[in-house]
Amino acid sequence: MRKKSDALQSNSNNDIHKVQKNDTLIYALGGLGEVGKNMYCFEHGNEIVIVDCGVLFPGDDLLGVDYVIPDYHHLIRNNKKHKKLVITHGHEDHIGGIPFLIKQVGIEEIYAPRFAKALIEKKLSEHKDAPKVPIIEINEDSSVKMKNFTIGFFNTIHSIPDSLGVFITTPNGTAVHTGDFKFDLTPVGQNADYQKMAFIGTMKPDLLMSDSTNSGVDGFSISEMDVAREILKIMKSTKNRIIVATFASNVYRVAQIIDAARKTGRKVAVFGRSMENVVEIARNMGVIHISNDELLSPDQLKYTPDDKVCILCTGSQGEPLAALSRIVNGTHRYIHLKPTDTVVFSSNPIPGNDVSVNRIVDKLFRSGATVLNKSVLNNLHTTGHASKSEQKLMIQLLKPKFMMPIHGEHKMLMQHRQTAIETGIPEENIFICSNGDILLMRDHQIIPSDWRFQGDDIYVDGNDISGLSTAVLKDRRILADNGLVAVVIAIDSKENKILCRPVIVSRGFVFLKDSQPLIREAEYVVGNALAEKMKEKTTFAEIKNCIRSSLEPFLYKKTHRNPIVIPVILNSKAAMEEMMNKRRAATVKNPRSTHHSLKNSGKPASNNHTNHKRGC
């Protein structure tokens, strides 16, 4: 038996991890264990500061899903608290979720750097039903003051203009959020604010939350200026038409491509909706310099000599609907590939997109075009995220006491953890968290909480912010893998009998013309099962269950596949009329009990069944 003092010590240690009244809560609703969907929260008293609000673009396994967004339930439950949203930069994985957030959560103001502000305004203009939230422009000299928080900023280098890091002072200590960053000694655009980072380091911040995307890449990344020189060299040496595919979000790269085209006397044709939007906004803000005379409209392409043309387009990741994919597949309205074309990929395939990109490249080679990818022989792409040496430099500049790697898959977070240990941060002071985990900042200490918030993914189809259930996605996967079988039966519910043999229709399961014996046998199996079921009084629900329970095992036995089985019951006209008369009488007698009685009867409402008298 333990001594009483040992028991008291154990209870005291357990209490350390419980949320206390004056704690500052730090947690992520997205961005941990994944690259995208970034959303980090700081909560104290009746105030919440949210840093970034992004989306994650779905993989091939999420059929029909347009976006993946964080679960906002904790913020919705705390809608009475004052909430401000701070944006570090304008990439979709940091701003894409804003329309969905402000429709559900009361946000008082959005603070965003200049370029991000323009992108957010463009995005919200497409969501007419979104409430109006003030968007306040910030820069490295801005300061946001709340009752419990003071927020400052510093310039960082990324692949988009106006990228900021965030410095947050709370009643319990200080935290630095780097945003997405890299270090580039010859940057295109603004430079990193090394002096301010070093000054923050002299104040010994308590917690560093740092970008982990390239934690597995050694050394320093290539300078964006090296990429600019490579692109200019290609433009000068190519004698025919050039097609350049890159990320529309890589604004500095887009600017360098356009600048190289202008220097070599080429006019630029821009294709892809996201690329067109970025070029328009960047021109308005002076980030991209090109006159209207130097831009080509789609109709002008056919009249312009090939050696005077540069086509700038989306599709560097092999996206099936992007401009480059449509060009390669011969479905683009204005551009048709020529054997003399040179196609430049100024990007690296995102993990998972390799197959799609290779498919596009193969088709380009088949057309006779010259294809240039990033390789050890050229500098056609560089990342916007810090490699290991750059991460070490950030840690050395800021000198944090504790660290929380963010923005990365679990492997990336663990690699960043090892890098932090190598720079001298104690292993026990580094926290690898998941979405929803809570860190407690208490009197300049960081303590992992024994409580967590909901941190699930919400799947968005179109602009529906209610989210798709996992059951819907499961049905979509079954439909994709196994198809659908509809069983149509005609009955007379008044006489309780089947009017004709069941009819089976298949979509995506078997080809009906080649599978008539199987279909006829399946109709026979269902018919026999229904004949037995209809010997006694039954309900529509029981008839549907009878169809499924008899047909599904039969189809699996014959094909080893499990299609979705949908029973369609057609009731006779006379029976339907009698049913409707009974319902009308019940409604007149007791209006409130009608829905309840129908539900208990096991018979769905009449609009779930088709009035049908003929066709048997």
Residue boundaries of the structural domains of the chain: 4-219+384-462, 224-372, 470-611
Residue of 558, 517, 564, 514 whose CA lies nearest to 544: 564
157 conformational bin, left if phi > 0, alpha if psi -120 to 50, beta if neither: beta
Model pLDDT, residue 584: 66
- Separation CA 282–CA 406 (nearest Å): 29
- Separation CA 169–CA 185 (nearest Å): 29
Binding site, annotated residues for Zn(2+): 89, 91, 93-94, 158, 180, 407
Is 470-611 the same fold as 4-219+384-462?
no
SS3 167: strand
Model pLDDT, residue 500: 82
Contact 558, 524 (CB under 8 A): no
Instruction: Report the DSSP beta bridge partners of residue 25.
Output: 43, 440
Say if strands 484-492 and 267-271 run parallel, antiparallel, or are unpaired.
unpaired
Local confidence band at 140 (pLDDT 50, 70, 90 cut-offs): very high
Per-residue tokens: 588: 């007149």
Contact 94, 87 (CB under 8 A): yes
For residue 35, pLDDT over 80 is answered with yes
Of residues 379 and 414, more confidence is placed in 414
What's the pLDDT tens digit per position in 62-79? 666 778 889 999 999 999
Average pLDDT over the chain, rounded to an integer = 86
Three-class SS string for 29-96?
A: EECECECCCCEEEEEECCEEEEECCCCECCCCCCCCCCEEEECCHHHHHCCCCEEEEECCCCCHHHHC
- Separation CA 533–CA 136 (nearest Å): 68
224-237 b/e (C-beta count within 10 Å ≥ 16 → b): bbbbbebbbebbee
Please, which residues have CB within 8 angstroms of residue 225's CB and are 6 or more apart in sequence?
184, 186, 187, 188
Binding site, annotated residues for substrate: 248-250, 381-385
Residue of 87, 143, 132, 127 whose CA lies nearest to 108: 132
Superfamily per CATH, domain 224-372: Metallo-hydrolase/oxidoreductase (3.40.50.10710)
Residue of 281, 268, 261, 273 whose CA lies nearest to 160: 281
Q: Which fold has domain 4-219+384-462?
A: Metallo-beta-lactamase; Chain A (3.60.15)
What's the pLDDT tens digit per position in 459-494? 877 666 666 555 666 677 777 777 888 888 888 877
DSSP string, 401-421: SEEEEESB-HHHHHHHHHHHH
- Separation CA 367–CA 387 (nearest Å): 37
Burial class (CB within 10 angstroms; exposed 0-12, middle 13-18, buried 19+) of 7: exposed
- Separation CA 116–CA 94 (nearest Å): 10
What's the pLDDT tens digit per position in 278-327? 999 999 999 999 999 999 999 999 899 999 999 999 988 877 778 898 99
Binding site, annotated residues: 64, 66, 89, 91, 93-94, 158, 180, 248-250, 381-385, 407, 461
Q: What is the DSSP letter of 604?
A: P
For residue 136, pLDDT over 60 is answered with yes
Binding site, annotated residues for Ca(2+): 64, 66, 461
Local confidence band at 578 (pLDDT 50, 70, 90 cut-offs): low
Please, which residues have CB within 8 angstroms of residue 203's CB and are 6 or more apart in sequence?
174
- Separation CA 221–CA 158 (nearest Å): 12
Catalytic residue positions, numbered: 211, 385
Domain 470-611 part of CATH 3.30.70.1560: no
Angle in degrees, 0-180, between the axes of helices 114-125 and 273-284, rounded to the nearest 10 = 130
